[in-house]
Amino acid sequence: MPLTLKIESNTVLKRKPIQSSELPEDQKQAIEAGKEYQIDSYTIDRGHVRCFFTKDTFKDTNVWYAFGKHVKIFRDTQVYPRSLPATLKLNVPYKSQRDNVLNPDGACNVTSIAMCLHYLGAARKESAGQFEDELYNHAIRRGYSRHSPYDLAKIVQDYGMRDDFRTDATIEQLRSWLADGNPAVIHGYFTDFGHIVALAGYDERGFFIHDPYGEWFWWGYDLNDPNGNNNKGESLHYSYTMIERLCIPDGNFWVHFISKP
């Protein structure tokens, strides 16, 4: 059954998934609402749909990007944007950084990564100690910086999993990713130096966060206590408004989309 692309709003097809105003005229094509086209396939990229047109070409090419909110795609029934469950929680295991042997107040990065790797079933390389301390040592041995998102992605790959790190992710992409059963790790300014947390689900108002440090408040953190309640950061509900303020203040959203290969 062929795919049908339906144009829902007046839009501009583009050769690149960026603002149409940044493209020369030969790399964009205005399309009116109501038009329908047959396409062979499509992929999602940075809030756009990359479409491979079956019969139609514009300006000598059949491959164009459409802004995701301006189109729908059907194959008998609607396949894009797909309908997501209103609420979702993954069984991502929670880990506190504050009981780590190594740098307990500065290891949010490897602790968040450890939660996702554990959830995906990554095999450990050591039999003793906590997974997050193992990852901390692994980074040192490999000469990785825990503060580099690209080196964190290397750690994930070293443990047999995939990390698609992006600086321009969207909340919508994250919701769809989680709905596919995959965890994620996000960067933000929960502290002055920056902080990293794991995502374990969402609802209509926000994300369910595994914060390895504890629970964030506007005045600071109610820290996990290794000698008391060490799970204060488990499955917290951080609203989309809060995420936008703390993680996307300049429009850039740093996200590790982590999955099995």
Q: Can you list the domains of the chain with their CATH numbers? A: 3-80 (2.30.30), 88-259 (3.90.70.10)
Q: Return the closest-CA partner of residue 17 out of 51, 56, 60, 61.
A: 51
Q: What pLDDT score was predicted for residue 44? A: 86
**pLDDT range class, residue 236, cuts 50, 70, 90:** very high
pTM of the model: 0.77
Percent of the chain at pLDDT exceeding 90: 91
pLDDT of 1 > 80? The answer is: no
Distance, C-alpha 34 to centroid of its chain: 32
Distance in Å from the first CA to the final CA of the chain: 29
Distance CA(218)–CA(225), nearest Å, equals 19
- Residues contacting residue 214 through CB under 8 Å, at least 6 positions apart: 98, 221, 222, 223, 224, 232, 233
- Residues contacting residue 225 through CB under 8 Å, at least 6 positions apart: 98, 232
- Residues contacting residue 8 through CB under 8 Å, at least 6 positions apart: 33, 70, 71, 72
16-67 residue pLDDT tens? 999 999 999 999 999 999 999 999 999 988 889 999 999 999 999 999 999 9
- Residues contacting residue 220 through CB under 8 Å, at least 6 positions apart: none
Share the mean pLDDT of the chain.
96
